[in-house]
Amino acid sequence: MAPIAVGDSLPDGTLAHFDSEDKLQQVTVHSLAAGKKVILFGVPGAFTPTCSMQHVPGFIERAEELKSKGVDEILLISVNDPFVMKAWAKTYPENKHVKFLADGSGIYTHALGLELDLSDKGLGTRSRRFSILVDNLKVTVTNIEEGGAFTVSGADEILKAL
């Protein structure tokens, strides 16, 4: 399956997260993105070095700037269970804007065409590292990494596109 591309419609799918009252919720991507400008970014795994020290912190640190340029939602997805995503989110107490969403079975990542087979590293099928800018469910920017690289999918690259 080809990766999602500029001009495509963002597929719908169900992801899990813990709400502000610490209740596990199922949420659809379209409910979060319809009628909005949204950044959807994905990482290979919670608590992994590049994801934890560079990719996620970049979006947290630049969130106010992104919002000032019209971004309504910043959504992080990872092929992890919601309990892992909750624990990972707690390691960023300064975070006010990035929503940590679990794609536990990788079904949504598959719908995006962004799976990454890390079986040889003992991680199974995960997500490629990426960032996508979406305006009212239409993809306007795709920054998709190859392998384990972190060169084009950070917050700075999205800011350049806004």
Residue 110: give its domain's CATH number. 3.40.30.10
Positions annotated as catalytic residues are 51
Helical ranges in 34-154 per DSSP H = 49-50, 56-61, 63-68, 82-89, 107-112
What is the spatial distance between Cα 50 and Cα 58, in angstroms, rounded to a whole number? Answer: 11
pLDDT band of residue 8 (cuts 50, 70, 90) is very high
Residue 1 lies in a domain: no
Contact status, residue 45 vs residue 53, Cβ threshold 8 Å: no
What is the spatial distance between Cα 160 and Cα 156, in angstroms, rounded to a whole number? Answer: 6
Report the pLDDT value the prediction gives residue 42, as an integer from 0 to 100: 95
Residue 10 lies in a domain: no
Boundaries of domain holding 92 = 36-161
Residue 49 lies in a domain: yes
Report the pLDDT value the prediction gives residue 2, as an integer from 0 to 100: 84
Residue 56 lies in a domain: yes
Q: Summarize pLDDT for 60-85 with one digit per residue, the tens.
A: 999 999 999 999 999 999 999 999 99
**What is the tally of structural domains in the chain?**
1
Give the residue from 19, 162, 43, 22 showing the smallest Cα distance to 99: 19
Q: Which of 4-18, 120-134, 135-149 has the highest mean pLDDT?
A: 4-18
Residue 158 has pLDDT above 90, yes or no: yes
Residue 119 gets which letter from DSSP?
G
Residue 54 lies in a domain: yes
Task: Tell me what percent of the residues of the chain surpass a pLDDT of 70.
Answer: 97
Residue 59 has pLDDT above 90, yes or no: yes
Residue 89 lies in a domain: yes
